[in-house]
Structure 1
């Protein structure tokens, strides 16, 4: 194929590509790779074998970078792929027997991710998860939220490692914005040559002014239909004497913690908050 969607969702032609990034098929939205030859250029669906080989190469480069970087930070007892008999797990990198580094390049389910965290916890091993490969992106997407950690200085955050370009991407102050849980965040990049700058980085947490619900968001809510939504709207009207839309219009909203799977407007209208499975966040977080 001669055109594909870039990370912003825009159609680009292979012959016009200047920057290497992630591309997707316009029809099935699966990942495609750019093929450039002397006299032609085109996109091609990635085969399973290609993906596995490419993923292994990216994973190995990332692990080598992490070993080198944490050696610079003063860690000496660094072990790769050590099999932990008690929990039958093999962390990518084990530091001083109580800190595991995982460079997660392959897609992993929330349940499997939780099982890995729980396994480390039984041995009092803290784990740090750094994303790459299939998770490497210039933006924070819904699929990234299960990896969130929390730090008083950075707020909700996660770290990605681009092992090809040797850059860490720190996404911090991650929050939900508005009635439909739009993801808002700040980002700062650090070269792997000086990892100490990443851990020295300090920032003042931003305070965002409340935003008012506008007619566009209200129209979006009107267009949401379904058995559960209709029931929620009906119960809200019976209890308050107002429609959901009347109640929410011009309401002022603050940013929310990025820990919910149901939209904020539904929570505001009485639906029980449903929490995302986020194993690295041990503290129960309430509104």
Structure 2
């Protein structure tokens, strides 16, 4: 931590602290000690970190401290930015709180998607948007495909992933376009300025047409699972369709399918089968889809309705 309270209640940055004075944690009020040296950035440390555990305070790595400090110094000349500002209502401490509206969180360690979502939703209750910023060296990408863990997916903001090069303090934004099987996604990457971390993020809804090879690979992947309960294969069998016979509507990646865990081919086959057989039931469809842990204000009904809209659109596109 970089900010502590002195004996008369003033906020003090670690770089200006004196070793001869006493300082206290602004959250738990326990005494903290100032640490500085040739290698580590000046910071305060709890004598007993367990005192602050319920406030999600943890020991931070030297890299985390460096990135947080550098980010703060970048933002300070241009924005109203608070370093480690304690939000008592939700018991959270963002690395940087900018203009009281955007929380910037350096997230180098992997934590559960549920915890990320809880913290994200906590910020939302205060009208604060959050950017979870990863170390760019930890992102696995090849050509036009990025491999995202459930943890990384939970940190997406409008399907955008933010990263920083820890050596150069260069920021990047990955736009996650569509799932291409399992944890693999189509993406676009661009370099951004630290100003872009503060600006609102808008999702871009688009339909992407894949080729027949993609469909073949999806069916091969389903067969490799060697399960008689595989729904993709079950619907292909019920429809008496082969990969070559699938209509072109199955070749499109759609915007709303990013919100669900069902494979992109499977949910389309589900709708195609039930609509063709006049057996579609909206409530059954709601129970069928499994929502991803992803930052969104949409309800399950919103997403189900979005999928139905996507399906109608690709049906229309494929018939043009």
TM above 0.5, yes or no, is yes
- Long gaps (5+) in structure 2: 1-57, 272-287, 308-320
Q: 1:94, 1:100 within 8 Å by CA — same for their partners in 2?
A: yes
Counterpart in the other structure of 2:268: 268
Q: 1:177, 1:254 within 8 Å by CA — same for their partners in 2?
A: no
* TM-aligned CA deviation for residue 276 of structure 1: 0.9
Counterpart in the other structure of 2:164: 161
* TM-aligned CA deviation for residue 222 of structure 1: 2.7
* Rg (Cα) greater in structure: 2
Distance 2:99 2:198 in 1: 19
* TM-aligned CA deviation for residue 88 of structure 1: 1.5
* TM-aligned CA deviation for residue 217 of structure 1: 4.1
Counterpart in the other structure of 1:187: 189
> 1:14-70, CA deviations, whole angstroms, 9 ceiling, x for partnerless residues?
xxxxxxxxxxxxxxxxxxxxxxxxxxxxxxxxxxxxxx98x6111112112221222
Q: What is the aligned-residue RMSD (CA, Å)?
A: 3.7
- Long gaps (5+) in structure 1: 1-51, 151-155
Matched length: 219
Corresponding position: 1:118 with 2:116: no
After TM superposition, the structure 1 = structure 2 runs for residues 60-99 of structure 1, keeping only pairs within 5 Å, are 60-72=65-77, 74-76=78-80, 78-99=81-102
Judged with a 3 Å threshold, the aligned counterparts in structure 2 of structure 1 residues 175 and 273 are, in CA distance, closer, same or farther, namely farther
Higher relative contact order (CA 8 A, sep 6+): 1
Provide the secondary structure at the position in 2 that maps to 1:269: helix
Q: 2:218, 2:265 within 8 Å by CA — same for their partners in 1?
A: no
The structure that is helix-richer by fraction is 2
After TM superposition, the structure 1 = structure 2 runs for residues 1-287 of structure 1, keeping only pairs within 5 Å, are 56-72=61-77, 74-76=78-80, 78-132=81-135, 136-137=138-139, 139=141, 140-143=146-149, 144-150=152-158, 156-172=159-175, 174-176=176-178, 178=180, 182-190=184-192, 195-196=194-195, 210-214=209-213, 215-226=216-227, 228-229=229-230, 233-234=233-234, 237-238=237-238, 240=239, 242-243=240-241, 245=243, 248=246, 253-257=251-255, 258-270=258-270, 272-278=288-294, 280-283=295-298, 284-285=302-303, 286-287=306-307
